[in-house]
Every structure is written in structure tokens, then in C-alpha cells.
Chain A
Amino acid sequence: MPDETRERWSGKLGIIMAVAGSAIGLGNFLRFPAKAAANGGGAFMVPYLVALLLFGIPLMWIEWTTGRYGGAFGHRTAPGMFHSLWRHPAIKYFGLIGIFGPIVVFIYYTYVESWTLAYAFFSLFGEYGGATDQAGMKGFLASYQGLNNSHFNGLAVAYAFFLVTFLVNCWILFRGITKGIEWLCRWAMPVLFILGIALAVRVLTLPPDPADSSRNVLNGLGYMWNPDFSALKNPDVWLEAAGQIFFTLSVGFGVILTYASYLSRRDDVALSGLTGASTNELAEVILGGTIIIPAAFIFFGKAEMAGIARSGTFDLGFVTMPLIFERLPLGNVFGAAWFLLLFLAGITSSISLAQPAVAFLKDELGITKRKAAILFIIITFILCQPAIFFYGNGVLGELDFWACNFCLVVFATIETILFGWFFGIDRAWTEMHYGADIRVPRLYRYVIRYVTPTFLLVILAAWFLQTGPPTLRPGNIRDWPALCAKLRHGPPAAEFVDGWPAPGPGLARLLPRDAQVAVTEVRRDRAFGWEHKAAVLSGLNQLLERSVLFEDGVFRRVSLPTNVQQFLKTDRGKWSKEDVQWLNRSLLQAAFPEHIGPRRAKIIEVLLMVDVADPDRPYILGTRIMLVVLFLGLYIGLQIAWRKRRDVWDRTEPPEEAQP
């Protein structure tokens, strides 16, 4: 075994900073405030803190303990660690998810990270192509991403920033654990906190809008923190909070397992795990909850906030924030500081995502650190390309789904059950407390054994119980020609309450021009290909977002389900964009029950993306094939490791030097 396998953290603070660096990412500053504001404001903190206590912190302890325990057996990655917890021949294959997931995130995260670096430069030099409103800034971002040529001619600029970001990641990878990751986190984390505090102070001292004094920082904080406790009745709010805890703590990836494997057997894991989690919460709740939403409130006012809060993570960070900084004195400096903060948060996370794969190549396959880093860089550089060049075709979203939704929850569920049940809670508890600087409350024995796995199984089950988004997918349409015919003429009279006559012209008049043409093509018996279907579907989805669809008269007398009728009696001023989409989708389903199918389970809706009518089908399928090939490669690597290091895998106790 090469001597370099004995790499260790230089100190306790080193690994805590590294774990906190891994956990603190773009999600702390963009995803958390957006989720909180859109899901009950301050009330969101109730499920959020419950999730933190019942599975965030327990999962931290599980991963730190498993990592240190597996590391003592000579394993740095989940397959070997799972095998050391439970000697079942199949369990190591489930551990592959703990290498696969981080690679998949790495291959698109580095690209998103490079946007923050680019925007730090754009901000510093005031180069936003003259964009002064949301639409203009969205156009600028889309152009940067290669989706249009309004500001950038192709992807050259974006690709240059990606290369710089990727090279910085490579350089840190080459330097290894102590000189690379620990060195980076030791200076990047304090700088990140200083930048965060400076930005938070700037936002909290912003003067009110001179034209409207209600646009002040207190009302901005109120928008973020005033609780709407009625939101707690909605199970989706609880699931959103649980999901946020997952993303923010970096649990369920396999990264912490690898980091903790470099601890010695006598090092504490109980206090270190808790400190890593609490440092992340400091960045998320204190800084993340203070910067973006209050600032947006002052500059855009309450009327625009609902749309901004629901606009998504990328739009918040790369559209809303640049507009805010453009209007601030010294805005270019604060803007550059904001994007530098995001870049540091991103790079400390991306570098941690590379570590399980590099450790697997180095320690399980026995190749040198340098060769392992080179191999990882070559493979991931190739795999990054589809996410960059086919961003507009949904490749990045597809990678994100499989890595950050599917792998994360499945992996966390497996490791929790393995730890609490197969390794055994008594041994797990003793192992967790060996060398511990704090005693974990005994209540957590029961939380780890019963509550955390139940919580995770509920999240898994929710995929099958929760219906998918209200937008129509190709697989929801049962009969395209018949639907198009009815769209032209309106819903048939038979579907109307009390036989009221069909009102006025059909829905087709409301569709965009290309969708109207596609609907007409059917009447002329021309070939009805996927281009036509995509146009009709896109047109219908645009209609779903119209708040006036119900008022247009087309659906006034359609027989509606009871839940829709009850919803129509609620205060329309409080309807969100999703509510309107849901209502319009329900209207369409009620009007065309034979042609438009019901919404299915969330997971099924995602799989329907590969429907024949989806114009992005080749890209989505290609991405899925790429992921299958990657997983097969890891499977072959594991088989080689299993044969090559059988003596290590067969160990029934840690080697002499790892013994306490």
C-alpha cells in the first residue's frame, strides 16, 4: 500500500472547516431563503428545525461514525464501509451510490460554480449588457448560457470561465487532503463568513425606498420571517423543509464518509459532527436568511416578491441580485463580493464531491494519488460537456434529479438502516462515543434507530404518493388528434353541467401562434410529428399559467370536481402561480377527460420526460445512458477492488495501527 494512504487531517478544526465547506454551498444563500419565503415564511422554521434535529444532525453523526469506523479498516469510500458494518455480499454494491452521486453532482456543479466566477467579474466591471430589469437580466443569463445570442456570441465566454474553475478544482485535487482541501477551507471559510457578514450588514442598513416608505428593511425581514402557521397543514411544506436539510448538510452524498475516514480512531466524531452542522446553519439561517429576500423586497416591493421568491434558485442569484447591486452605491464592489462568496461556497463543495471517487481510485484500486487525480479529471471533464453544451435541453436538470433527489435519499436511507439495525444500535452508540468530546443525549439512540429511518422512508414514499407538477407532459395526452380537434371547437356540450351549450370559439384561439398552426395541421391531415406535439404541449402549458383561463368563458360550465369547486371559493388574491396552474390543469382535465390524463406520481412524471413527443428526448436519454455507463464503470472498479484487496475486505478487526 502506498505510504500516501496514511494521509490525515492536520487538526480537528481542519476537518470541521472541510465538512462545513462541503455543506455550505449555493443552496445556503439562494435555496434556503427562497424556500422559506415561499413556504410559510417564519413558519417554515418549525419543520426545518424538526428535520434538523430528527434527521439532519443524526445523519451527520451516522456518517462521521461510519466514516471513521470504515477508515480504520482501510476503506475510504462507502462500499468498503458498508461491508465493514455488515458482512453481506451484496451490501457493498449499494455503497457505490456514495461514489456515483458525488461524481454526477460534480459534473454539473463545477459549471454552475463557474457562473459565479464569471458574474463576479461582470459585476466588478459593470458588464451586464445594459440589462436593468428582470426580463433583461434573464436574457443576459440565457445568453451567457448559450440559449440566445443577444449578449454573447455562443458559449465561448462561459466555457472559458468553466475551464478556469475546473482547473482550480484540479489544482486543489492534486494537492491532496492536507495541502489541498484543508488549506483551501482554512482560508476560504473565514473569507466567506466575512463577505457574508459584510453583505448582511449592508442589507440591514439599506435606507427605505424614497418613493414608497413601506419598502424598508423591516418589512423585508417580515416578508422572510413573518410566520404563516396555516402553511404547516400542507405536507409539501414539511417535505420541502426536509429536502432543504438534506441539501444543506451534504448528508447522503458519501462525502462526509470519505472525509471522516481520514480521522484516527481516537478522534472525536460526536462534537465534530455537531459543529460541522451548526457552522452550516450559521451560514444558512443567519446570513442566508438576511441577505437576498430583504434586499429584493426593498428594491422590488411586495407585489413582485411572490414571483421572485418562486423564480428558482438560479434566477434569484443571477437575475435578482445583480439588479439589486446595480442600484446600490458601490454596487459593483458588493456584487463582486456576493458572487465571490458564492464561488467560495461552491468550490469548497465541489472539491469535496471529487474526493470519494479519487479516494476509491487511490485506495481501493491502489493507484497513486497523482494518477487517481488525473483519471478523475479526464473522466469528469468529458462528462461535464453535455451539461454545458446541452444545458437548454434539460441535461443539467436530469443530472440534478438523479444525483440530488434519487441517490441522496436512497443512499441516506440505506446507511441509516445499516447503522441502526444491521451494525446494531448498541455497537453504533459505543462506536460514536469512543473518543467523543460530548455525550449525545440518550434520546438519540431511539431517534437514530426509529425516527430517522422512518423520516427517510416517508420522503421516499412521498415520491409515489405526491402527484407531479401541474404542467402537462407528453405522456399525459392520450389522443393527440382528437384533443386537437376539440381544442378548435371547445369542450363538447355533453361535458357541461345541465347540458349548457358549448360556449363560443374553442381554446385554440388562446394558444400561441405556433400551437394554433400545429392544431390546424391535424385538420388538414398533414403528418403530425413530435414537433407539432411539442408546440401544442408548450402552448397548453403557457395557457396553464394564465390567471384568466377560467374567466375566458371557455370553462365556465364544465362539471368540476368538488376540490376544484371549493378552491374556487377561496381568496384569489392569495393564489400562487402553482395554484393557477393546478386550477387550469384541473379545468382542462375536467373538460377533456378522454384526452388528457390525470397527474401521476412525481417519480412517474419525471420518467415521462422520455416520451416520444418530447423534443429533448435524445438529450435526456443520452444523459441516462451516460449515467448507466458511469455506474457500470464503478461496478467494474468495485469488482477489481474486491479481488485485488481481498485481504483488506476480509478483515474482521481494524489493523494494529488503528487499534485504540
Chain B
Amino acid sequence: MTPEGWAVFLGSWALIIALNLFCFWKLLTEKPAEEVTKEEPSPPPPA
């Protein structure tokens, strides 16, 4: 395994594990939706 190979290998692992940790941490510590976003639902489509 070359140094470039290690860099790609560990970089890909780190990116994907970090993404998963972020997602599951957010899921497990979720707040009520209204506190997170103030967005209103979209209006109905035009007839």
C-alpha cells in the first residue's frame, strides 16, 4: 500500500464514519422540528 493509497483509504473511511456519526448524533439528540426550522410548509400547487 503506497502513502497515497493510505491517504485515500483512511480519508474515505474518516469521511464516511464522520458523516454517520453526525447523522446518528443528530437523530438521537433531535429537537422538536419547530425549534430547528422556522420554515412554513409550501403552499398548495396552483390548480
Q: How far is the CA of A275 from the CA of B25 in the complex (A)?
A: 10
B20, closest chain A residue (CB) = A278
Q: A42's contact among B9, B19, B42, by CB below 8 Å, is which? A: B9
Contact with B along A312-353 (1 / 0, CB 8 A): 000000000000000000000000000000000000000000
Q: Which residues of A contact B17 (CB under 8 A)?
A: 282, 286
Q: B45's contact among A84, A268, A439, by CB below 8 Å, is which? A: A84
Q: Which residues of A contact B19 (CB under 8 A)?
A: 274, 278, 281
- Decide: A275 and B23 in contact? CB cutoff 8 A: yes
Of B15, B16, B30, B46, which is in contact with the most chain A CB atoms at under 10 Å from its CB?
Answer: B16
B interface secondary structure, majority: helix
- The A-B contact count (CB < 8 A) is 119
- Decide: B33 and A438 in contact? CB cutoff 8 A: no
- Decide: A652 and B47 in contact? CB cutoff 8 A: yes
- Decide: A437 and B4 in contact? CB cutoff 8 A: no
B40, closest chain A residue (CB) = A430
Q: Which residues of A contact B43 (CB under 8 A)?
A: 427
Q: A285-B13, A660-B41 in contact; A226/B27 too (CB < 8 A)? A: no
- Decide: B46 and A87 in contact? CB cutoff 8 A: yes
In the assembled complex, A557 has its CB within 8 A of some CB on chain B = no
- Decide: B45 and A437 in contact? CB cutoff 8 A: no
Q: A221-B9, A225-B8, A438-B26 in contact; A430/B33 too (CB < 8 A)? A: no
- Decide: A219 and B44 in contact? CB cutoff 8 A: no
Q: A279's contact among B9, B20, B31, B42, by CB below 8 Å, is which? A: B20
In the assembled complex, A27 has its CB within 8 A of some CB on chain B = no
- Decide: A226 and B47 in contact? CB cutoff 8 A: no
In the assembled complex, A45 has its CB within 8 A of some CB on chain B = yes
In the assembled complex, A545 has its CB within 8 A of some CB on chain B = no
Q: Which residues of A contact B8 (CB under 8 A)?
A: 41-43, 45, 225-227
Q: How far is the CA of A455 from the CA of B6 in the complex (A)?
A: 30
- Decide: B9 and A275 in contact? CB cutoff 8 A: no
- Decide: A222 and B1 in contact? CB cutoff 8 A: yes
In the assembled complex, A433 has its CB within 8 A of some CB on chain B = yes
- Decide: B31 and A226 in contact? CB cutoff 8 A: no
Contact with B along A423-442 (1 / 0, CB 8 A): 10001101101111111000
Q: Which residues of A contact B47 (CB under 8 A)?
A: 87, 652
Of residues 625 through 660 on chain A, the ones whose CB sits less than 8 Å from some CB of chain B are: 652-654, 660
Classify chain B's interface size.
20 to 34
Name the distance in Å between A295's Cβ and chain B's nearest Cβ: 15
Q: A42-B4, A45-B8, A427-B43 in contact; A12/B37 too (CB < 8 A)? A: no
In the assembled complex, A621 has its CB within 8 A of some CB on chain B = no
Q: A225-B5, A227-B8 in contact; A86/B26 too (CB < 8 A)? A: no
- Decide: A437 and B44 in contact? CB cutoff 8 A: no
Q: A227's contact among B5, B15, B40, B44, by CB below 8 Å, is which? A: B5
Name the distance in Å between A389's Cβ and chain B's nearest Cβ: 41
Of residues 265 through 295 on chain A, the ones whose CB sits less than 8 Å from some CB of chain B are: 265-266, 268, 271, 274-275, 278-279, 281-282, 285-286, 289
Q: How far is the CA of A49 from the CA of B43 in the complex (A)?
A: 35
Q: Which residues of A contact B41 (CB under 8 A)?
A: 265, 430-431, 434, 660
Q: How far is the CA of A41 from the CA of B9 in the complex (A)?
A: 10
Contact with A along B23-39 (1 / 0, CB 8 A): 11011001101001101
Q: A87-B45, A435-B37 in contact; A286/B16 too (CB < 8 A)? A: yes
Q: Which residues of B contact A278 (CB under 8 A)?
A: 16, 19-20, 23
Contact with B along A1-28 (1 / 0, CB 8 A): 0000000000011001000000000000
A271, closest chain B residue (CB) = B26
Q: A221-B5, A285-B13, A286-B13 in contact; A268/B33 too (CB < 8 A)? A: yes
- Decide: A436 and B5 in contact? CB cutoff 8 A: no
Q: Which residues of A contact B36 (CB under 8 A)?
A: 436-439
- Decide: B44 and A654 in contact? CB cutoff 8 A: yes
Q: How far is the CA of A533 from the CA of B43 in the complex (A)?
A: 63
Q: A222-B2, A652-B45 in contact; A285/B40 too (CB < 8 A)? A: no
Q: B37's contact among A41, A227, A439, A653, by CB below 8 Å, is which? A: A439
Name the distance in Å between A506's Cβ and chain B's nearest Cβ: 48
Q: How far is the CA of A43 from the CA of B26 in the complex (A)?
A: 31
Q: How far is the CA of A430 from the CA of B45 in the complex (A)?
A: 13
Q: How far is the CA of A286 from the CA of B18 in the complex (A)?
A: 12
Of residues 391 through 435 on chain A, the ones whose CB sits less than 8 Å from some CB of chain B are: 423, 427-428, 430-431, 433-435
Q: List 7 A-B contacts (CB under 8 A).
A: A42-B4, A42-B8, A49-B12, A227-B8, A278-B23, A281-B19, A437-B31
Across chains A and B, which 10 residue pairs bring their CB atoms closest together, nearest first? Answer: A42-B8, A653-B44, A222-B1, A226-B5, A275-B23, A435-B33, A431-B42, A225-B9, A427-B42, A433-B39
Additional A-B contacts beyond A42-B9, A427-B42, A652-B47 (9; CB < 8 A): A13-B27, A84-B45, A226-B1, A226-B5, A227-B4, A271-B27, A275-B20, A423-B45, A435-B37
